[in-house]
Amino acid sequence: MREFISAEAPCFALGLVEEGMRWYGFVALRPGKAIPREVSDLGFRFGHSLFGNENFEVVHFGFEFYGFETYNALVNPNNPLARAVLMTMVESGDYFFFALDSNKRVTAFRSEIGHDNLIMLKNNLARIQASTTTEAQYNRAVASFTKNPEPPGPLLRWVCREDEYLDLATDRLQLTPA
């Protein structure tokens, strides 16, 4: 979390969060500018897809904050951290989303739609788990997507992806709702 908080925005990170004695996947973003409270109060639209070809794939996440901005994130499914988080998201059918803005305010959302909100991830889980996408292929996908983002909007830089494992016994940050 310290690395994520100190990284240059705009960026995003993946991880696990414990709530009610259960683990859930999370996606956290730092958009680089404050999302107005009236915008965050409306929630956001979350989309996901696979981007690539027959040789490689990356997972695309899109976050549309209504009337404000759409942010994009690309994840290499061959990354051990990404695999653990994506598998947890699919298995639980639930996930958390955190947005940390430039005013140091955190907005938290929890999925409430059920298992169908991750249907693409579930349908493509075998391909995601078998992914052999290299770092070079991931970087080429990022460069290609940056030239023509779909949906239009900033591509967030993935930080904290070099961690090869999640040590939830020591790498913890307590969040208390306001």
Going by the DSSP 8-state scheme, the letter that residue 115 receives in this structure is: G
Cis peptide before 10 (omega within 30 of 0): yes
Going by the DSSP 8-state scheme, the letter that residue 77 receives in this structure is: T
Name the residue ranges covered by the structural domains of the chain.
Answer: 2-158
Tokens 């997972």 belong to which residue? 59
Cis peptide before 177 (omega within 30 of 0): no
Write the burial class of residue 169 (CB in 10 Å: 0-12 exposed, 13-18 middle, 19+ buried). Answer: exposed
Per-residue pLDDT of the chain (178 residues; tens, 9 = 90+): 677 888 888 999 998 888 888 888 999 999 988 888 899 888 888 888 888 888 999 999 999 999 999 999 999 999 999 999 999 988 888 889 888 877 777 888 887 655 566 777 888 888 999 999 999 999 999 999 999 999 999 999 999 887 544 455 555 555 555 5
pTM of the model: 0.86
